[in-house]
A and B are shown apart, each in its own frame.
Chain A
Amino acid sequence: MKIPILPTQEIGSYRKPDYLINLWKRYMAGEGVEEELNKAIEEASIETIKLLEDVGLDIVWDGEMHRWEMYYHPVTYIKGIQFVGQVRVFDNRYFIKGSVRNEPKLVKNYHLEEYLFIKERASKPVKLPITGPYTIADWSFNEYYIWRWKKQEKDPRKIRYNAKRDLTIALAENVINPILKELSRHGVFRIQIDEPAATTHPDEMEIFVEAFNKAVEGVDTTITTHICYSDYSILLPYMNQMKTVQFALEFANRDTWEKGLDDDKRRGYHFLKELSEYSYEGEIGLGVIDVHTNKVEPVELIMDRIEYALKYIPAEKLFINPDCGLRTRSRDIAAEKLRNMVEATKKIREKYGFEN
């Protein structure tokens, strides 16, 4: 499918409509509302695909309507990981965390039906975001492999490292790789592997890269990745080693709201300069929308962010997106932000003589 220069895309989650949130909550509380929930998921999915197409994105999907959240959803379908309770993320915000009690095995391709449903209803190319093996491993308690390594190793550092490697590779090989292969057989346009935990443990970068590459081995489709709120200088030396065509990264969150193209105004995007001095030649998904504020980025500011990026990244390698999933914003505000993003991108295309 043909996409224009500077394609616009969403990253992942979009806020669910209230009727769906309520049904998800009731379902999670064990109220037996599966049938109603499935109907609501379909309804919300169609609404969101339409919304993202109407705002003018070039690559779309349904904003995670089929999923409670990016960790809970995959773990539900992985044998060997058991949910053990709520663990704090910050303040009074918690997530339901799992413990790895055995070798992880895939119960069911938890993205296939979702993808087929979206593909059927989308009129634009579809990108499917999938939580990556390193992030699932990092956000789980690793009981099984720690227990195994404790039997043969005394050094606690080696126990922790080896156990993490074993778990991450098992997730890549047993869970993510078969999912990706099956999806690619169904002709998915692009698959985005989400790895927000990628740079959390700098001494585990080799594990992250090895697992990523094993996850995509033999997969015949375009693979991209999304990483956010991280120290990208840790990632930089590994970017060329990863079998991905794109890194979609968050930048707007660290940028100023002042208009202009100079380094001081565009301080959130300095990494691009560092990147241009490195030999990376792949695509960059440019985060131009801060997903943690209701303030809507003006078109001119987004244009400045794109133009600044064009100093370092060739237009044919640049994709335009929000920093991260927009689920923390209301549907209306998120749509307004995306509309401005699309309009800014169109104006840049016109300015540089690219086809809209």
Chain B
Amino acid sequence: MYEGYIVGIFPRNDSLIDTWKKWERGTVDDGVFREVLDEALDYVVRNQVVVGLSYVHDPQIDWHDMFRPFTELENVSAGPLTRFFENNTFFRKPVIRDVVEYEKGFINSYVHRDKMPKGRRWIVTLPGPYTFYRLSEYRDGDTGRKSIVNMVSGAMDDLLREGYEFIVLAEPALAYYSDVDWDIVSGFYKPLRETGLKYRIHLYFGDVKDRISRLMEIAPYGFSIDTSYTSLEELEGLDLDTLVLGVVDAQNTLMENVDDTVNKIRSLREKLGCRNIAITNNTDFDYLPYEVAEAKLMLLSEVLRRLGA
């Protein structure tokens, strides 16, 4: 079976960027800002339905970065601007001062459940615990780990109860760093597996071909491969229930060739023992201008259609 969906933060359109600036300067009021934001949110949701993606992803266009909602909780704050891996994009480093307790229902005001279409399956992306841990500052490791478990599992529990089908956990740190501490990773994921909360791990910014067996242990519902880093040829023989392929490059405006992409996926499927293959963008579309992200979303849906999904 083939599935297709988008992951991560979707870019803001020019009108929203401009209105947001004016709202920050106080030259437009809350009502105008809300109207422009609502329109942009509705459009991104509607677009995913129209093009026939398998899941509708919460647009998250009002998130400044993947950690920002969580820095509103007590004992954690938005720290210095910090480069996000190797990009010309910066996030506010979460600074954890003491153990952070998740407040039930906290995350619900940062997603857009009211905009998600009835009769469709919804998903949303949260920071994966290891990436959250690697990119945060904390008093000590134990405080950091406890806080992150509380925040991520608390938010996942809320969102799954709200009707989201599964949570995409963004874990670029698991793909990027050569010195991943797998004991810490297991410490995060073993209890998460035991809760039965449904998630897929999304990996990007690195080649994971040598980490597959470890990823299989921590991701029972599937994980992704960023095909701009890992060659599909190197995945042959892989035996998984669900493999997610980040086939649409969200870091380049070059449009993928649909025929080539379809042929590569079909050919890979024949050589794999995977029951399900899902196709996505390799990383957040937020690295692209809005119009290009829209075109790439269309391209993803076209590949999905051609695969016969």
A89 touches B89 (CB 8 A): yes
Is B11 close to A, CB under 8 A?
yes
Q: Which residues of B contact A229 (CB under 8 A)?
A: 83
Is A86 close to B, CB under 8 A?
yes
Q: Which residues of B contact A143 (CB under 8 A)?
A: 252-254
Stretch at the interface among A3-11, A154-162, A219-227: A154-162
Annotate A160-191 by CB proximity to B: 1 below 8 A, 0 otherwise.
10000000000000000000000000000000
Distance in angstroms from A29 CB to nearest chain B CB is 10
B90 touches A89 (CB 8 A): yes
**Chain A, 47-103, CB within 8 A of any chain B CB:** 84-92, 94, 97, 99
Is B2 close to A, CB under 8 A?
no
Known: A84-B289, A92-B17, A200-B88. A157 touches B229 (CB 8 A): yes
Distance in angstroms from B206 CB to nearest chain A CB is 10
B253 touches A99 (CB 8 A): yes
Closest to A99 in B: B253
Bound-complex Cα distance A90 to B288 (A): 13
Is A128 close to B, CB under 8 A?
no
Distance in angstroms from A92 CB to nearest chain B CB is 5
**Chain B, 77-94, CB within 8 A of any chain A CB:** 81, 83, 86-92
Q: Which residues of A contact B34 (CB under 8 A)?
A: none
Closest to B257 in A: A150
Known: A84-B289, A84-B292, A86-B17. A142 touches B231 (CB 8 A): no
A147 touches B231 (CB 8 A): no
Is B139 close to A, CB under 8 A?
no
B252 touches A141 (CB 8 A): yes
CB contact between B292 and one of A85, A90, A156, A160 (< 8 Å): that residue: A85
B253 touches A147 (CB 8 A): no
Is A201 close to B, CB under 8 A?
yes
CB contact between A90 and one of B86, B90, B228, B291 (< 8 Å): that residue: B90
Is B236 close to A, CB under 8 A?
no
Is B207 close to A, CB under 8 A?
yes
Bound-complex Cα distance A91 to B87 (A): 14
B14 touches A90 (CB 8 A): no
B17 touches A90 (CB 8 A): no
Distance in angstroms from A9 CB to nearest chain B CB is 25
CB contact between A156 and one of B90, B91, B229 (< 8 Å): that residue: B229
CB contact between A147 and one of B21, B64, B89, B254 (< 8 Å): that residue: B254
Bound-complex Cα distance A87 to B24 (A): 19
Interface class of chain B by DSSP: loop
Is A217 close to B, CB under 8 A?
no
Interface class of chain A by DSSP: mixed
Is B287 close to A, CB under 8 A?
yes
Bound-complex Cα distance A88 to B285 (A): 11
Bound-complex Cα distance A138 to B65 (A): 21
Distance in angstroms from B62 CB to nearest chain A CB is 10
Distance in angstroms from B191 CB to nearest chain A CB is 33
Bound-complex Cα distance A78 to B83 (A): 27
Closest to A201 in B: B86
B24 touches A92 (CB 8 A): yes
Q: Which residues of B contact A160 (CB under 8 A)?
A: 228
**Chain A, 203-229, CB within 8 A of any chain B CB:** 229
Of the listed residues B12, B14, B228, B254, the one surrounded by the most CB atoms of chain A closer than 10 A to its CB is B254
**Chain B, 229-255, CB within 8 A of any chain A CB:** 229-231, 233, 251-254
**Chain B, 15-62, CB within 8 A of any chain A CB:** 17, 20-21, 24
Bound-complex Cα distance A75 to B212 (A): 41
B17 touches A94 (CB 8 A): yes
Known: A85-B292, A97-B289, A200-B86. A90 touches B233 (CB 8 A): no
Q: Which residues of B contact A147 (CB under 8 A)?
A: 254
Q: Which residues of B contact A348 (CB under 8 A)?
A: none
Known: A87-B289, A92-B21, A201-B86. A154 touches B81 (CB 8 A): no
A156 touches B230 (CB 8 A): yes
Q: Which residues of A contact B24 (CB under 8 A)?
A: 92
CB contact between B64 and one of A90, A97, A154 (< 8 Å): that residue: A90
Known contacts A92-B12, A200-B87, then 20 further A-B pairs from the complex at CB < 8 Å, ordered by chain A residue: A84-B292, A85-B288, A85-B291, A86-B14, A87-B89, A87-B287, A88-B287, A90-B65, A90-B90, A91-B65, A92-B17, A92-B21, A99-B254, A139-B88, A141-B253, A141-B254, A154-B233, A156-B227, A157-B229, A200-B88
Task: List residues of chain A with CB under 8 Å of any chain B CB.
Answer: 84-92, 94, 97, 99, 138-139, 141-143, 146-147, 154-157, 160, 197, 200-201, 229
What are 8 A-to-B residue pairs whose CB atoms are below 8 Å? A87-B287, A88-B12, A92-B21, A139-B88, A141-B251, A141-B252, A154-B233, A156-B231
